[in-house]
Amino acid sequence: MFTTRVTSFALGFACASGISMYKLKEEIWSSHKILADQCANTEARLSKLEMTASKQ
């Protein structure tokens, strides 16, 4: 009886850990995409400012 409970707990814990790691990975990639987009926008704005400064 005890081994069944331990096995059941271990299986449940493994499933919950797997699901949480998958969700965490998704959140990390979405955050990375947001930061990469912000970097690209900042780079574009900086290029425009440099072009404006070089024309003056």
pLDDT tens-digit series, residues 1-56: 889 999 999 999 999 999 999 999 999 999 999 999 999 999 999 999 998 888 87
Distance (Å, rounded) from C-alpha 36 to C-alpha 43? Answer: 10
Q: Which pLDDT belongs to residue 4?
A: 93
Please report, as a single letter, which amino acid is at residue 53.
Answer: A
Which pLDDT does position 1 carry in this prediction?
87
Checking phi first, is residue 17 left (phi over 0); if not, alpha (psi -120 to 50) or beta? alpha
Largest CA distance in the chain: 83
Statement: the pTM of the whole predicted model exceeds 0.95: no
The residue extents of the domains of the chain are 20-56
- Say what the pLDDT of residue 11 is: 96
Question: Which residue blocks in the chain are alpha helix, DSSP H?
Answer: 2-55
Distance CA 38, CA 48 (A): 15
Q: Looking at residue 56, what is its pLDDT? A: 74
Q: In angstroms, how far is the first alpha carbon of the chain from the final one? A: 83
What is residue 23's predicted lDDT score, i.e. its pLDDT?
Answer: 97
